[in-house]
Amino acid sequence: MLKEKRSPNKGSFVFERDSMNEKTILLIQECIQEMHNFDIRWRKTDFKQLSYSRWAAEEILREIEREKSMPPLVVIESFIRKMDEYSCMNEKASFIFSAAHDTAEHILDLLLTPHT
């Protein structure tokens, strides 16, 4: 759970960063929750992709928690680059890291898309 931090000035960088971290964490948690919906009749590859996507979203959450001083968008972009690198290292594991890359890009798109 997030610790609530108060900033003396609402417009300060610390307030904005904490607010963005909280918004990002809530959005990723919502994505993970939506990934619980699967159908037993799915093909094996669909189930695997969902599992890898959940793993990626949970890993991004851990990275954001570890790198609290970095803006979450930078953490996610770094995760995307790592997944690109890993997907090229081993052909057998490339599907896992490609799914993780796609999940991270989806999260990034959700964060950057204005909501009304």
Q: Residue 61: pLDDT band by 50, 70, 90 thresholds?
A: very high
pLDDT of residue 56: 96
Give the domain range for residue 90: 13-112
Confidence (pTM): 0.76
Instruction: For residue 1, tell me if it sits in a domain.
Output: no
Instruction: For residue 6, tell me if it sits in a domain.
Output: no
Could you give the number of structural domains in the chain? 1
Q: Residue 62: pLDDT band by 50, 70, 90 thresholds?
A: very high
| SS3 of the chain | CCCCCCCCCCCCHHHHHHHHHHHHHHHHHHHHHHCCCCCCCCCHHHHHHHHHHHHHHHHHHHHHHHCCCCCHHHHHHHHHHHHHHHHHHCHHHHHHHHHHHHHHHHHHHHHHCCCC
